Chains A and B, each alone.
Chain A
């Protein structure tokens, strides 16, 4: 309202002025109408629809883009779910296979161990038997040899004069050497 006051004051100061700024002159109305009609006409029937068309097109494109992105996203999510499911399945299967292999391996090991220990038992038994047999044989042969040796030793001792220790010692050494040779002979034979 300050504005109005200012204008009224300005108008009053110039009392001789025939113009009232609040009452339009006829030419003012005429030109205003023409100019405003032209602007409204051009804008409402030409310029704004042209711009609106572009704006609509852009909105459509953006909406289309958003929809496409949403579709892609849901597709990706579905694919991810599928892959995850497949992966879980594959993992479970792998675990199962591993478990099977492990139990099978255990079984194989147990079987192998069993058969191996059987074999060992048999081998030991065979070896034992062989050893027994050989010992028996050794005992028998020793018994006869010891007898023969003893009688030989006795005959030698009797055959030789037993005056000094040196001779005696020599005789025993010679006997033992013979004995040794005999044993190594019999060993070589046996």
Chain B
């Protein structure tokens, strides 16, 4: 709701000047609708808080990321600082999350030795994505840190460079190119077809899909929520008669999508880390 309010405030800033008299006070602002505004891509390019137009431009999505990162670090720091052999309740929850990444993601993909090597990074990646995703449904933030493509790109690039680096380190540059572009056990002629596909896969599609899947899911989730709540606001406070009842439908839909977004936040973190583990494992495997 607050997000909607913020969104409404933002889109309405220009119009507010014109019909100022219509809204007065906090309730006037909260229960006011000047018509239905479908959410647009501009949702993801809110006005700058400072540094507008420069590379240091800082808007509320950046703020959401900073808050998510700060809370994540704070929670884990507090738990890690007082971690004991016999865990407290909070420590158990934290350990459960670490355990989930280890047993359900990384060790499902790699053998134990490699899992141990890449576990710290993959665990960090999982927790970071989860924290950035979940801000999408946290009241007053209402914007996933990962719904702006920059952060998914940085994380995907990190994974990309990591799997290329460990692959080259393990097989040598030639060896890595050979194992990834010319998979063994295929008739020679097939390479004409297979090698370009594999090249696209390894060098372009893997990192691109990692970043796009995450960002697109988070953007879509945000647009859906804004759509539902903007419609609710419009139906309740602007539409007349029976149309007001429609607001109930859109509100229930918004509620359902909020729950769904919580699920998607966890699922996308899982998918991103699972695929990262798979890509790293493919790079260090002996043979495909």
Contacts and interface: CB of A to CB of B under 8 A. Distances in A.
Interface of A: 2-4, 6-7, 10-11, 13-14, 17, 19, 21-33, 35-36, 38-40, 42-44, 46-51, 53-55, 57-58, 61
A3 B56 CA distance: 29
Interface in B91-118: 94-95, 98
Given A28-B148, A46-B77, 17 more contacts: A2-B220, A6-B220, A7-B216, A21-B149, A24-B148, A27-B62, A28-B151, A29-B150, A31-B150, A38-B69, A42-B73, A43-B76, A43-B123, A43-B124, A47-B73, A51-B95, A55-B98
B190 to A, nearest CB: 28
Contact of A54 (B84, B149, B220): B84
A27 B120 contact: no
Given A35-B65, A47-B77, A48-B120, A4 B212 contact: yes
Nearest to B56: A27
B42 A14 contact: yes
B80 interface: yes
23 contacts: A3-B216, A6-B224, A7-B220, A17-B42, A22-B149, A23-B149, A25-B57, A25-B150, A31-B62, A31-B65, A31-B150, A32-B153, A36-B154, A39-B73, A40-B128, A43-B124, A43-B128, A44-B120, A44-B121, A48-B98, A50-B81, A51-B95, A57-B85
Name the residue among A42, A53, A54 with the largest chain B CB count within 10 angstroms.
A54
B27 to A, nearest CB: 31
Contact of A36 (B54, B58, B158, B223): B158
B109 to A, nearest CB: 19
A24 to B, nearest CB: 4
B207 interface: no
* Leading 7 A-B pairs by shortest Cβ distance: A28-B150, A3-B220, A27-B57, A24-B150, A3-B216, A32-B151, A50-B80
A33 B150 CA distance: 8
A51 B80 contact: yes
